[in-house]
Amino acid sequence: MLFHDVPENESVRNALKRAERLVKMRWVPVNWLPHNVGINAPNAPYNRAEAWEVPFRPQQGMVYSSARAVEKFIGFNVSLETFMTALPDPKSVLYTRNLYGTGGHGMGCYYGIVCSCFVSTVLNMPYRIPCDSWPTYPGVQELSWEDLDSLKLCDIVLNPRSHITIITDIQRDEKGHVRFVTVSESTQPFCVAKMYTPEEMRGYFKARGFRLFRKEDLGEIPYEPDPFAPMPEDPEMPAREPFSVLPHFGNKANYILREASEQVELHVLEEGWNAAEVTLPDGSVRVYPIPEDRTVIPEETVPGYYSARLAGPEKRSVACAWCLTDLKAEIPEKVAVGERIPVRFENALPDPLTGFILNNQNNYIYRWGLFGGGLPLMEEVPTDSEKNGSDSVTKVKGGSFLPEAGTKGTLSLPPVSEPGSYWLILTAKGRYGWYTSRHLHFTVE
């Protein structure tokens, strides 16, 4: 007889629920999704894997896509509601934009989740923590492959160079010895959970350079039932009236103001409506006629929260919503190797900075940082060319934990030790999740 490990506290229980939802959630595409697996599709506009995201074929598990070129990760920048409401619109960005070939690997859908984002979402991390930063993240301790009987739920199986997974079920015999371990992960094409014996774990993961880790203090991990991705154990929720109009990014999405690629489009999904009524951040209403192609372009230039509903002869539709963000930032076009990077910023919304991400020209993270949040002050381990006479505090590979930055000011970010082309984004968190500044491109010489 085998026994399942019981979560030792509410945070572990909620983390397991978060993982299960991403693995088991069901969804149905209404058009072809671009895919990140290289399968030839002659005469097709997108590189698509016809074995998976076929229109109207039910799917299970959140879709894998490395959306770092646009920073549109499900769980942080994109909510489950936004993803699920983009699905029924055949002209939404899920179907009309393809990230394949934008750098690195695993890029496909405009929205998606990757391994580090999956584990960071499950454990309610401040933001998505890259694989190579986990071994030096505060409170993370390495475990031994020799004693798998000491494993706990939510322990991490990690190859710092490539992939991260999390343990979501452990089965033991009557003597307490581990017989089966379930590992959940985001992998191509969907999030999955797989069961291994201890021998299979060592034979598969250990042989491929994976190591075991534990985040000692999980902190508070909440779980909120989501009507757009309900689970069998969730309490019954009221039925939702379907949307008749939606932003092409999905409901409650963030758009960057004055960014050409993020001009808001409202797609009218049904006939029989006369006009779209857009409610502005100040509460005033602007009425737009519905053109033949049923695409309304609201020409709004004020940052803030918007909503829209359709007006017909005798009724009005359910309202959809979105936010226009305006996180301005400036950076020099050229920065010297080993010199700190000056950044001026100002957020038009009342949301303080939460972090920054510095990518190289292939869209791989070179540096990341988090502001405030009660975390210990950190700076990354400097190379010889980066040492400038100041002592670093606690060290973490590739990352920085910095003091609160507010909504306006000047930053001095950690230096870059390798010449080349880079781009930087700042992040803030609003009502609809994390949003970013425009990409700030610069050269290190």
pLDDT digit string, tens, across residues 366-385: 899 999 865 655 554 433 33
What is the identity of the amino acid at 431?
A: R
For residue 281, what pLDDT is reported?
98
Percentage with pLDDT > 90 across the chain: 77
Residue 55: pLDDT band with limits 50, 70, 90: confident
323-378: per-residue pLDDT in tens? 999 999 999 999 999 999 999 999 999 999 999 999 998 888 889 999 986 565 55
Residue 57: pLDDT band with limits 50, 70, 90: confident
Residue 96 pLDDT greater than 90, yes or no? yes
**Regarding beta strands 59-60 and 26-27, do their DSSP bridges make them parallel or antiparallel, or are they unpaired?**
antiparallel
**What is the mean pLDDT of the segment spanning 378-405?**
54
**Mean pLDDT over all residues of the chain?**
89
Residue 183: pLDDT band with limits 50, 70, 90: very high
280: its two tokens: 């502005």
List own/partner pairs for 53-56 with CB under 8 A and 24 or more apart: 53/29, 53/189, 54/29, 55/29, 55/30, 55/31, 56/28, 56/29, 56/30
Residue 294 pLDDT greater than 60, yes or no? yes
Residue 47 pLDDT greater than 60, yes or no? no
Residue 386: pLDDT band with limits 50, 70, 90: very low
Give residues with Cβ within 8 angstroms of 80, minimum separation 6. 21, 25, 74, 226, 228, 229
For the ranges 254-258, 275-279, 317-321, 360-364, which has the lowest average pLDDT? 360-364
**Which CATH code of 2.40.128, 1.10.287, 2.60.40, 3.30.1360 fits the domain covering 245-325?**
2.60.40
**What is the mean pLDDT of the segment spanning 134-151?**
95
Task: Taking the CA atoms of 300, 303, 309 and 313 in sequence, report the sign of the dihedral they define.
Answer: negative
Q: What is the pTM of this model?
A: 0.91
222-258: per-residue pLDDT in tens? 999 999 999 999 999 888 899 999 999 999 999 999 9
**What is the mean pLDDT of the segment spanning 146-174?**
97
For residue 243, what pLDDT is reported?
97
**What is the mean pLDDT of the segment spanning 130-134?**
93
Tell the CATH topology of 327-444. Answer: Immunoglobulin-like (2.60.40)
Residue, of 306 and 104, whose pLDDT is higher: 306
User: Cα dist. 86→95, 251, 406, 414 in Å?
Assistant: 9, 7, 32, 37
Is it true that 245-325 and 327-444 share their CATH fold?
yes
For residue 52, what pLDDT is reported?
53
Separation CA 28–CA 318 (nearest Å): 22
**What is the mean pLDDT of the segment spanning 259-272?**
95
| Per-domain boundaries in the chain | 3-17+118-215, 245-325, 327-444
What is the arrangement of strands in the sheet containing 408-413, beginning at the earlier edge strand?
327-330, 341-347, 408-413
For residue 390, what pLDDT is reported?
35
Residue 36 pLDDT greater than 80, yes or no? no
